[in-house]
Amino acid sequence: MNSEAKEFLLVEYSELRQTFRSHTGQIVADQRAALALTGAFWTWIAIHAIRESYTLVVWIPTLLVLLFILKWWIFHRSIMRLASYFRDVEERFYLPKGLGWSTNYKKYGRDLLAPWTTVFWGAMLLVNVTAAIFAPVHSILTPPAQSTLSSSAQSSGMR
């Protein structure tokens, strides 16, 4: 391999490493954003009475989580392809045994980001689906239930 090819590969490797770092950083940022957005939606839903005609509103947080999961899956696949490419480049440079992050990935242990994100997104989906199923929905035609004290006062004739 000539020096120009080596220089090209080194520059490319460096840029792809930056992409790798950017993707992993975006995954963590998306986790924070998903927590904040779904939390904001559930707070709004808890404060406001949802009419039966608007029951789909309670599924918006779940939809957001599904979109974040899709994005995570795309980034995860991209990261896996980059890691595979890095291994190929390291092998072509005939590095001495024991050198090269990608070729020694298993030796130093797996990255905990992938299993953690799988658990995180699974939990987010489960919590949001459960909350959407059990979210209170009120009819605009039915007045809210009166408190026990006021109904007992009315039944005893006090008005």
pLDDT tens readout for residues 67-77 = 999 999 999 88
User: For residue 150, is it within any domain?
Assistant: no
User: For residue 85, is it within any domain?
Assistant: yes
User: For residue 158, is it within any domain?
Assistant: no
- Identify the domain containing residue 83 by its residue range: 3-140
Task: Please compute the mean of the pLDDT values over residues 20-40 and round it to a whole number.
Answer: 92
Specify the number of domains making up the chain: 1
d(CA 82, CA 96): 21
d(CA 132, CA 112): 30
d(CA 62, CA 59): 5
d(CA 30, CA 26): 6
Residue whose entry in the numeric block shows the structure tokens 């980001």: 113
pLDDT tens readout for residues 46-69 = 887 766 656 788 899 999 999 999
Strand partners, 51: 138
User: For residue 91, is it within any domain?
Assistant: yes
Q: Would the pLDDT of 144 be above 50?
A: yes
Helix (H, G, I), strand (E, B) or coil at 51: strand
User: For residue 117, is it within any domain?
Assistant: yes
Task: Please compute the mean of the pLDDT values over residues 140-155 and round it to a whole number.
Answer: 52
pLDDT tens readout for residues 83-105 = 888 877 777 777 777 677 666 66
User: For residue 155, is it within any domain?
Assistant: no
Report the pLDDT value the prediction gives residue 135, as an integer from 0 to 100.
Answer: 80
Token code pair at residue 139 = 């009819």
Report the pLDDT value the prediction gives residue 57, as an integer from 0 to 100.
Answer: 86
- Where does the pLDDT of residue 140 fall: very low under 50, low under 70, confident under 90, or very high at 90 and above? very low
Classify burial at 124, counting beta carbons within 10 Å of its beta carbon; exposed 0-12, middle 13-18, buried 19 or more.
buried
d(CA 74, CA 11): 25
Q: In this structure, which amino acid lies at residue 93? A: F
Task: Please compute the mean of the pLDDT values over residues 21-46 and round it to a whole number.
Answer: 92
Q: What percent of the chain has pLDDT over 90?
A: 28
User: For residue 105, is it within any domain?
Assistant: yes
Residue whose entry in the numeric block shows the structure tokens 């045994």: 97
User: For residue 50, is it within any domain?
Assistant: yes
d(CA 43, CA 38): 8
